[in-house]
């Protein structure tokens, strides 16, 4: 059986009366005592104070006792610390304190009985007992189960079950931005189990260039819900998010609720739609340009064809005129074998040159050939 010297003890309880009585009692026993009013304050205390025994209340704001035990058990420097659940709901809760990492459990009751239970637990801590006595809850025999407490515990569990089933990340923060509650979706998004997430600064999960923006938002929060992440992109790890935050104040405490919705796929779909729209517009522009060019070419072809058609019509007209003239002079022409006059279609006789001039457009100039000149004017030949 190992005996361990106990010098330092930490008491964590949000009830100031209990905290003061426990601290005074333990100091009278000769121990150095540190006190913390909630789980977050306890983790801060553990930065500079390493106790051998920690008494932890279960129901506390800013990280409850159950989660605080799990966090402490995950700290390498707290590997051998003796954890004691010290709670007024031990009877109603029927907790298995070993599953949350605690070594013993005391149900709050009359302070005279608490003193005796604390002494037994400290003896266990010094001797590191593993006998069956270390597995029982000290003090529940002094209590009757309280219906109102059971109802409140049921409501709390029901509330946590509901939060753990939603797909959005749900976190509770202090006004300084420390995380004191995270549902399963939040732990998954942040990439760490809840025990690692709790007590961390919320802004540290954002890219370094966005952390000042998140800190400013936390400072400016009031009871009006704000939503950011649409116009200014926000990222946690590789996921784009929509962040909803609101400050909540009640009679006993104030805190911040943060709900994170993963919009990565929606933004990717929107981006793809924009790209597809741009591509469609580009294709339409290219197609329109092609159609305009084709239309312009078609118009040029039509104009060119019209010119060719007009030229063809003009040639046809000229050919028809020429053909008409040729036809006028074609066929058999009645001609006088003596005077060489030609008879037209109406039966009139015309000089050959007059007929040809009329039907062909030719013009004549008169002269005399050598043979006719010799025949008709022989005297001219003699003179020559």
Q: Report whether pLDDT(384) > 70.
A: no
Q: Please answer whether residues 117 and 139 qualify as being in contact, where contact means their C-beta atoms are separated by less than 8 angstroms.
A: yes
Domain count, the chain: 4
Residue 158 burial (10 A CB sphere; 0-12, 13-18, 19+): exposed
Residue 3 domain-assigned? Answer: no
Q: Report whether pLDDT(27) > 70.
A: yes
> Residue 132: which pLDDT band, with cuts at 50, 70 and 90?
very low
Which residues lie across from 34 on neighbouring strands?
A: 10
Q: What is the mean pLDDT of residues 337-365?
A: 74
Neighbour-count burial for 373-383, b at 16+ CB within 10 Å, e otherwise: eeeeeeeeeee
Asked if residue 51 and residue 25 are part of one domain, the reply reads yes
Which residue did the predictor score with more confidence, 201 or 378?
A: 201
> Residue 44: which pLDDT band, with cuts at 50, 70 and 90?
very high
Asked if residue 270 and residue 256 are part of one domain, the reply reads no
Which residue did the predictor score with more confidence, 366 or 188?
A: 188
Residue 151 domain-assigned? Answer: no
Asked if residue 348 and residue 326 are part of one domain, the reply reads no
Asked if residue 28 and residue 117 are part of one domain, the reply reads yes
> Residue 148: which pLDDT band, with cuts at 50, 70 and 90?
very low
Asked if residue 208 and residue 85 are part of one domain, the reply reads no
Which residue did the predictor score with more confidence, 99 or 201?
A: 201
Residue 316 burial (10 A CB sphere; 0-12, 13-18, 19+): exposed
Q: What is the pLDDT of residue 134?
A: 53
Supply the range of the domain harboring residue 88.
8-142
Q: What is the pLDDT of residue 159?
A: 67
> Residue 326: which pLDDT band, with cuts at 50, 70 and 90?
low
Q: What is the pLDDT of residue 216?
A: 93
Residue 258 domain-assigned? Answer: yes
Pairing of strands 342-343, 349-350: antiparallel
Q: Report whether pLDDT(1) > 50.
A: no
> Residue 147: which pLDDT band, with cuts at 50, 70 and 90?
very low
Q: What is the percent of the chain with per-residue pLDDT over 90, rounded to a whole number? A: 40
Final residue in a domain of this structure, among 304, 331, 358: 331
- The model's pLDDT over 50-79, given as tens digits with 9 standing for 90+, comes to 999 999 998 888 888 888 999 999 899 898
> Tell me, what CATH number does 230's domain have?
3.30.450.20
Asked if residue 361 and residue 249 are part of one domain, the reply reads no
Asked if residue 195 and residue 82 are part of one domain, the reply reads no
Q: Report whether pLDDT(157) > 80.
A: no
Asked if residue 120 and residue 43 are part of one domain, the reply reads yes
Q: What is the pLDDT of residue 249?
A: 82
Residue 95 domain-assigned? Answer: yes
Query: What average pLDDT is seen over the chain?
Result: 83
Final residue in a domain of this structure, among 127, 142, 157: 142
Q: What is the pLDDT of residue 126?
A: 87
Q: What is the mean pLDDT of residues 131-146?
A: 57
Q: What is the mean pLDDT of residues 278-297?
A: 91
Asked if residue 258 and residue 274 are part of one domain, the reply reads no
Asked if residue 246 and residue 183 are part of one domain, the reply reads yes
Element (H, E) at 180: strand 179-182
Residue 208 burial (10 A CB sphere; 0-12, 13-18, 19+): exposed
Distance from C-alpha of 95 to C-alpha of 3, rounded to nearest angstrom: 28
Q: Report whether pLDDT(327) > 60.
A: no
Residue 310 domain-assigned? Answer: yes
Q: What is the pLDDT of residue 129?
A: 62
- The model's pLDDT over 169-193, given as tens digits with 9 standing for 90+, comes to 999 999 889 999 999 999 999 999 9
Residue 102 domain-assigned? Answer: yes
Asked if residue 270 and residue 368 are part of one domain, the reply reads no
Q: Report whether pLDDT(133) > 60.
A: no
Asked if residue 201 and residue 113 are part of one domain, the reply reads no
Residue 152 domain-assigned? Answer: no
Final residue in a domain of this structure, among 210, 229, 262: 262
């Amino acid at each position: 059986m190992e005996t361990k010297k106990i010098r330092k003890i930490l008491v964590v309880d949000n009830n100031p009366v209990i905290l003061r009585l426990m601290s005074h009692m333990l100091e009278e026993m000769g121990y150095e005592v540190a006190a913390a009013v909630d789980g977050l304050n306890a983790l801060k205390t553990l930065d500079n104070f390493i106790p051998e025994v920690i008494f932890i209340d279960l129901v506390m704001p800013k990280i409850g006792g159950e989660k605080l035990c799990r966090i402490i058990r995950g700290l390498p420097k707290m590997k051998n610390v003796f954890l004691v659940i010290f709670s007024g709901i031990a009877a109603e809760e029927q907790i298995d304190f070993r599953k949350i990492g605690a070594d013993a459990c005391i149900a709050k009751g009359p302070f005279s009985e608490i003193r005796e239970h604390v002494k037994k637990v400290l003896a266990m801590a010094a001797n590191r007992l593993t006998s069956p006595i270390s597995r029982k809850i000290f003090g529940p025999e002094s209590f009757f189960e309280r219906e109102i407490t059971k109802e409140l515990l049921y409501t709390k569990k029901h509330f946590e079950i509901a939060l753990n089933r939603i797909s959005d990340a749900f976190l509770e923060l202090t006004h300084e931005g420390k995380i004191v509650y995270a549902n399963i979706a939040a732990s998954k998004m942040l990439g760490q189990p809840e025990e690692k997430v709790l007590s961390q600064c919320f802004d540290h999960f954002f890219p370094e260039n966005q952390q000042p923006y998140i800190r400013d938002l936390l400072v400016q929060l009031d009871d009006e819900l704000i939503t950011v992440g649409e116009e200014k992109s926000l990222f946690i790890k590789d996921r784009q998010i929509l962040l909803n935050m609101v400050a909540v104040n009640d009679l006993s405490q104030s805190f911040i609720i943060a709900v994170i919705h993963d919009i990565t796929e929606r933004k990717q779909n929107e981006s793809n739609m924009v790209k597809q729209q741009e591509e469609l517009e580009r294709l339409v522009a290219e197609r329109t340009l092609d159609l305009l060019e084709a239309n312009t070419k078609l118009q040029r072809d039509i104009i060119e064809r019209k010119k060719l058609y007009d030229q063809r019509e003009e040639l046809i007209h000229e050919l028809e005129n020429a053909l008409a003239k040729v036809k006028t002079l074609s066929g058999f022409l009645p001609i006088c074998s003596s005077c060489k006059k030609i008879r037209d279609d109406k039966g009139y006789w015309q000089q050959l040159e007059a007929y040809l001039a009329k039907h062909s457009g030719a013009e004549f100039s008169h002269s005399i050939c050598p043979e006719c000149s010799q025949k008709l004017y022989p005297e001219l030949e003699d003179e020559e």
